[in-house]
Every structure is written in structure tokens, then in C-alpha cells.
Chains A and B, each alone.
Chain A
Amino acid sequence: DGGITQSPKYLFRKEGQNVTLSCEQNLNHDAMYWYRQDPGQGLRLIYYSQIVNDFQKGDIAEGYSVSREKKESFPLTVTSAQKNPTAFYLCATRTGYSYEQYFGPGTRLTVT
């Protein structure tokens, strides 16, 4: 089955802990993206990667880190430096031939 998987679906953490969100794809897409969505706001870009071993900061990268060691995987770490980490996190991919992005099912992170 081709697609994008994100795990876990729900994640709960205590303040001050780092947490890593998983994003895996078997679509053979080159570009991968991380967004967060907060109630009443549009999706905001955290980080993106257009090829393996390369990534760029998006609009709200502070308090987050990523890696892209394999084409299939683009994990996002939410560090304790992120002031408001509770949000819906969405991973997306894009082929090299068009501009549409395709989203995984998302991870809802709650930090208390």
C-alpha cells in the first residue's frame, strides 16, 4: 500500500521533554515537509527537505529539529525550547513533477 504514515496518532508528553514524531513514505517522493496546525490558523511550515541529507527552515523552525538520512523518512523532533508545542503536526510529500503536496494522517501532540 503506497502512502505516508505518521506515528503515533496521539502523543502526550510532559513539559521539558524532547519528543520525536515519525514520518515515513513509500511514494518515492523527493520532497518532504513538516507543518503544524493550530485552531483557527492555517498550516504553518516548520521544516522541509528537497533531497536526502539536506533540509531548510520554514517559517516557524525555532524549537524544532529534523534529519533526512533516508529518502523515505523525515522525523521531526520537538525540543523543550519550543514554547507552545501542543498542536496537530502534519507531514507532507511532493513529487519532483508538480507542486501538489500530499499529507500523512498527522500526529496530535499534547504537552502538559
Chain B
Amino acid sequence: RKEVEQDPGPFNVPEGATVAFNCTYSNSASQSFFWYRQDCRKEPKLLMSVYSSGNEDGRFTAQLNRASQYISLLIRDSKLSDSATYLCVVNILTGGGNKLTFGTGTQLKVEL
């Protein structure tokens, strides 16, 4: 089983739609959680951290369910510019320090 699993998509949605991505992680010792956005052939950029109580940043809402070991990202009122790959990232504290484990990403295509 992969440490971090995501549905690769693509999710093709019309502009203005609401779309949700889920991500599951296998290591119960995972401490911190993030969503990164990666545009085609570019570097990943931090979209938002995910807090236990859930958090919102504009049209984006992230949720964490530690009991079920999954993280979600909700995007409301999708824009064409939201088209990208969204990476679920989990931080684990190991003997060698903090380690980020990356999912393979979920591709989103927002269409007119």
C-alpha cells in the first residue's frame, strides 16, 4: 500500500463547479498535512496547510480526519486558473528528522 494515495483523475469540471479531492495516508504517526499545487512542468507550490479543525482560504477548504486517515480539499466556484495537479503531502517525524511524503497528485481541468 502506498504511504499517500490519491485518485489521479483527471477531474474535468465546468467553470463555477465545486470539486472535492480526497487523499488517504497509511502512517498513523503522520503529524502535519499539506496541499500543494503543481502546474505543468513547474515546481510544486504550497496551497495550504491542513489543520485538525479544518481550515478555509477563500474558495479552498481543507479537512483532516485522523481517525480514518484521510485529508480532503474542496474547491468552490472553480476558475480556469485552478487547472493544475494537486498534491497531497504528509509530514512524518522520523529518526532522521521530518520527512515529507508526496502523493502522485490529482489532476484538475476546469473547462468553459
**Chain A positions near chain B (C-beta within 8 angstroms):** 31, 40-43, 45, 48, 50, 56, 88, 90, 94, 99-106, 108
Contacts and interface: CB of A to CB of B under 8 A. Distances in A.
A56 B96 contact: yes
* Top 9 A-B residue pairs of the complex, sorted by shortest distance between their CB atoms: A42-B102, A103-B43, A43-B102, A99-B91, A99-B32, A42-B104, A56-B96, A106-B43, A100-B46
A90 B104 contact: no
A3 B29 CA distance: 31
Interface in B27-60: 31-32, 34, 41-46, 49
Given A90-B43, A105-B42, A105-B43, A100 B49 contact: yes
Contact of A41 (B44, B49, B101, B104): B104
Nearest to A108: B41
Given A42-B87, A42-B102, A50-B97, A99 B43 contact: no
